[in-house]
Amino acid sequence: MGADLPGIVRLRDRREALTLRTILGAARALFAERGYARTPIRLLAERAGVSPQTIYAHFGSKAGVLGGLVDLLDEEAGLPDLVAESDGVDDPAALLGLLARAARQVRERCGDIVAILASGAAADPDIAATQAEGARRNRLAVELVVERIRASGRPVAARAADIAVALMSAGVHDSLVRESGWSHDDYEDWLARTLADAVLAG
């Protein structure tokens, strides 16, 4: 028979996207409740209302599901929107402010995913690899912003990317927000100012 009608293809794509999101939502909840190692694919499939074969078909393995959570984190934290917003920004302090907002949104909206990765990385190589990929993406984003600032002619501090990554770390966020009771607004404002002071030379 001929090619699928566009409406049928769109419906199939929407169903597939919904299935993926359902699996990832179930994984997010179960990994937080039980831990990654203690969550079998069978239980994940049951919670998501799909067959184990569906999970394998979409993600390949439980480690693949974990990798999907990093992609979900990017989406739920609004990182693609912040990247798009940065395209029209030339002011160095404003670019660093977008990094501060990204750090805030990751911690505020997806702190559970960050915690899943942090708590399991020491014991499980799959989690460690996924956490390392998330850290690589974060560092790349920081390096791109620093390079844009440098290319604009504005001097930046030596090891500016190292400094920014450290300031944006989960440990700094948790110390201020969880342990000291700062609001996320306070944290974002402080981080934006501190990044500007630490990264911009002169």
d(CA 122, CA 120): 6
Across 10-39, average pLDDT = 88
d(CA 144, CA 117): 24
pLDDT on residue 194: 98
Residue 95 near residue 86 (C-beta atoms within 8 A): yes
170: tokens are 């989960």
d(CA 119, CA 117): 6
Domain positions in the chain are: 6-60, 72-199
pLDDT tens, position by position, 114-135: 888 887 787 788 888 888 888 9
Does 1 have pLDDT greater than 50? no
Does 37 have pLDDT greater than 90? no
- Whole-model pTM: value is 0.83
pLDDT tens, position by position, 45-82: 999 999 999 999 999 999 889 889 888 888 899 999 99
Residue 100 near residue 67 (C-beta atoms within 8 A): no
Does 89 have pLDDT greater than 70? yes
Across 145-162, average pLDDT = 94
Across 143-159, average pLDDT = 94
Does 10 have pLDDT greater than 70? no
pLDDT on residue 14: 83
d(CA 173, CA 101): 12
Supply the mean pLDDT for the chain. Answer: 90
Candidate CATH numbers 3.40.50.300, 2.40.50.140, 1.10.10.60, 3.90.660.10; the one for domain 6-60: 1.10.10.60
